[in-house]
Amino acid sequence: MRHANEHRQELGKQTDEFTLDHDQFRQKLTAQITQSPYYPNLKQKIDQWEQQSIDKIHQVADDIRKYLDNMIKTQLTDVLIKLANEINHAREEDEYFETDIQ
């Protein structure tokens, strides 16, 4: 039992050392990455990509709005022209009833 406890303590000590080494390695690596001359450039490229993507989305949304407005105007104009033609034809032929007017 005493040997098992000593072994367990040694394993705990090794785990603590490994954890400390891991934390130090992670801190050094993070510092090296963020202090790298390439790091700001990469962040700038990400920012540019983000802005370009947003600009493209805005352009597509604007194009679709214009298309929708045009389709509504076109369809509405076509329907109103057809209705006006039917009314004029009925008036010229004197072929309309009260239900047609309603």
Residue 22: per-residue pLDDT? 95
Query: Where residue 96 falls among pLDDT bands split at 50, 70, 90?
Result: confident
What secondary structure, in 3-state letters, does the chain show?
CHHHHHHHHHHHHHHHHHHHHHHHHHHHHHHHHHHCCHHHHHHHHHHHHHHHHHHHHHHHHHHHHHHHHHHHHHHHHHHHHHHHHHHHHHHHHCCCCHHHHC
Residue 92: per-residue pLDDT? 85
pLDDT tens per residue, range 10-58: 999 999 999 999 999 999 999 998 888 888 898 899 999 999 999 999 9
Q: Where are the domains of the chain?
A: 1-35, 39-102
Residue 60: per-residue pLDDT? 98
